[in-house]
Structure 1
Amino acid sequence: MISLKPYLRAAPLLIGACLMLVGCGPKADTHPGQPVTKRRALLQETLRTFEPMGIMVRGKTPYVAAKFLTLADKLQSLSTQPWPYFLPGSTYAPSRAKPAVWQQAAQFKQAQDTYIKAVSGLVTTAKTGNLNAIRPAYMHVSDSCAACHKTFRGPSVL
């Protein structure tokens, strides 16, 4: 017969460890208006929209013009939404925004405008259905993201 004593002794330790891990999760955003939570959600939705487009552009999944255009339209709708949530003082965890966002506000605004314009160009190109023309337009959006992240986004907080 198997003795349960070792398991019963370990149970409180296991429960305690689980409770400690629950406390290690991200803190709730209790700041007025929750700007970090809102901008992160919008930027994550942007990524969830942009990635399937990239998979099509790279030929990992079949290119479906109508689906790509739907994603491009959604990306354009999202392209202007996160920026109002970059409020002064909203650098608390889990924000990855560098102080340069506010110290170089004109450059940050220019990076936003470059991105928005690139997305608009991608939508225009997506309407042609020509994948060969879409690829460079997609890369232009990707490059605008990378340039902004290089200057204005810090390392992961995890």
Structure 2
Amino acid sequence: MFSRSLLMLAGAGTLALTLAGCSAEPADTHPDQPVTKRREIFKSFTRSFEPIGQVARDRKPYQAAEFLAQAQALQKLADQPWALFPADSNYPPTRALSAVWDKPAEFAQASADYRQKVDALVAAAQGSDLDRIKAAVSQVEGSCRSCHDAFRKP
């Protein structure tokens, strides 16, 4: 005889599996999973950049060592996702536009611009001029935005 709590637990598990199976997003079936890998790196960008952006918008107090560490973490990630856009990786679940592959020189320039802006952010973070730091944060944000506008589906 099953206890009531065990039956409820089994029902919840079945519901979770059913909902997971109804996911609208297709799985990354490529053997190397470049879409999944680059998405994880971009999520890491966000995790590193969020505290930086909060400081720049005066939503979090500026602590020089912590800020510099976050900027350096972002810098370590900055080179990583671009090699994960091989020609055979334009398939669902990507959110990349075909412009990534149709305009490779422009995409390469956008990624180079991003890396340069991140390097400038790290350089600014090594100093103590908060106005310069905030301007560098704004430059990184602008670089992200322009790349998304040109190369990413909404």
1:82 equivalent in structure 2 = 81
Once the 2 structures are TM-superposed, how far is the Cα of residue 133 of structure 1 from its aligned partner? 1.0
Check 1:135–1:90 CA distance in 2 against 1; reply closer, same or farther (3 A cut). same
Specify the alignment match of 1:58 in structure 2: 57
What fraction of aligned residue pairs are identical, expressed as a percent?
Answer: 45
* 1:109-152 alpha-carbon deviations (Å, 9 max, x no partner): 00001000000000001000221110111100100000000000
Partner of 2:22: 24
Counterparts of 1:14 and 1:83, CA distance in 2: 40
Specify the structure having the higher radius of gyration (Cα).
1
2:139 aligned with 1:105: no
Match in the other structure for 1:73 = 72
Q: Provide the C-alpha distance between the structure 2 equivalents of 1:131 and 1:97, rounded to a whole number of angstroms.
A: 34
Match of 1:5 in 2: none
Matches within 5 A, 1:3-152: 18-25=16-23, 26-152=25-151
Q: Is the 8 A contact 2:27 2:93 kept in 1?
A: no
Q: Distance in 2 between matches of 1:22 and 1:62?
A: 40
Shift of 1:33: 1.1
In structure 2, what is the equivalent of residue 3 of structure 1? Answer: none
Q: Aligned residue for 1:4?
A: none
TM-score, normalised with respect to structure 2: 0.87
The residue type paired with residue 147 of structure 1 is S
**Cα deviation 1:69-108 (Å, max 9, x = unaligned):** 0001111100000000011121222210000000000000
The structural deviation recorded for 1:21 is 1.2
Distance in 1 between the 2:61 and 2:116 partners? 26
The root-mean-square deviation of aligned C-alpha atoms, in Å, is: 2.2
User: 2:57 is aligned with what amino acid?
Assistant: R
Letter in 2 for 1:109: A
Which stretch of structure 1 is more off in the superposition, 99-108 or 16-25? 16-25
Q: Which moved more, 1:113-122 or 1:28-37?
A: 28-37
Distance 1:136 1:91, change over 3 A: same
TM-score, with normalisation over the residues of structure 1? 0.84
Aligned residues: 147
Deviation at 1:19, TM superposition (A): 4.2
User: Alpha carbons of 1:31 and 1:53: their partners in 2 closer, same or farther (altered >3 Å)?
Assistant: same
Q: What is the alpha-carbon distance in structure 1 between the residues aligned to residue 12 and residue 50 of structure 2?
A: 38
